[in-house]
Amino acid sequence: MTSSLNKFALILLICVALLAQGCATSTGANNRSHSVGLEQLIIAEPAPVNFKSEIAIARYSDFLTRAKLTDEQNAKVLFDRGVLYDSVGLRTLARIDFTQALQLNNKLADAYNFLGIYFTQIREFSQAYEKFDSALDLDPNHEYAYLNRGIALYYGDRPELAAQDFEVFSQDHNDDPYRLLWLYLAQYQINVDTAKKNLAQKASMVDDLNWAKQVIHLYLGDITQEDFISGLAQGIDSNKALTDRLCEAYFYLGKYNQMQDNTGAAMNFFKLSISTNVYEFVEHRYAKLELDLMRTKKVTM
């Protein structure tokens, strides 16, 4: 397993280096990207659907049909089935279940949080803010509602408010690189120098053994993109762990290239993140939105 992963990492390094070179763009009116042959790309093996989740969905569906439940019990089962639908990428069905659950019990903060995520993904930001506000009204300590509202504000071009939510989300977990990275992304839209200074100050709190600290090093310019890619398989001992890491790494590589104005490479990395099928990860959820926003911007230019 270890030798195959090392080989995978080497192929990944070579192919993504070619991808980055082939998709490098120039700035200004002559900005353009060059296509890269499919044979040059490395595609992560998509995460398989967990058959246990599929069986559980079938059982919940049967239970809803056969059992005599109170409205509160029905809402709980609908919510639980919605979570399972979400975990296997069936987000429309999940959205229906969460909406029906709230019709039966409007006190489910987590259901509001999920609906807020879905509205963010389709760029219905006003409705997303409303859902996250409802979640926080019910549970003021719902930390992931702060994260997801911050993400909605970030994509809704309100970086100052997004940074405030990310500050709340990270204040008790300054050693979590993912929390620091989302704060950095919002602050980067406000002031690049300040964002980098703040990230550099907080980087020392992150454990060196946490692989995501390499993303911080990449963003601060401490390592090159090639160095970052070459270390992606380090410490990996299973295909699931590799797919999970690649989902995250591709997304943050997409953001990195986006900030470098390497539009073609950024779009390809976001596509690679989506290709992992790690539906529950924040990075997978928003890689498609990144692509949609970049395509919209390209059309309007």
pLDDT tens digits, one per residue of 2-53:
444 444 443 444 344 444 444 433 333 333 333 333 333 456 677 777 888 8
Residue with more model confidence, 296 or 215: 215
* pLDDT attached to residue 34: 37
* pLDDT > 50? residue 275: yes
* pLDDT attached to residue 158: 97
> How large is the average pLDDT for residues 64-78?
93
* pTM reported for the whole predicted model: 0.85
* pLDDT attached to residue 231: 87
Parts of the chain belonging to CATH 1.25.40.10? 109-223
Residue with more model confidence, 136 or 43: 136
Query: Which residue from 16, 17, 30 is spatially nearest to 261, judged by alpha carbons?
Result: 30
- Rounded distance between C-alpha atoms, residue 45 and residue 42, angstroms: 9
* pLDDT > 80? residue 146: yes
* pLDDT attached to residue 4: 44
Architecture category of domain 109-223 in CATH: Alpha Horseshoe (1.25)
> How large is the average pLDDT for residues 229-237?
85
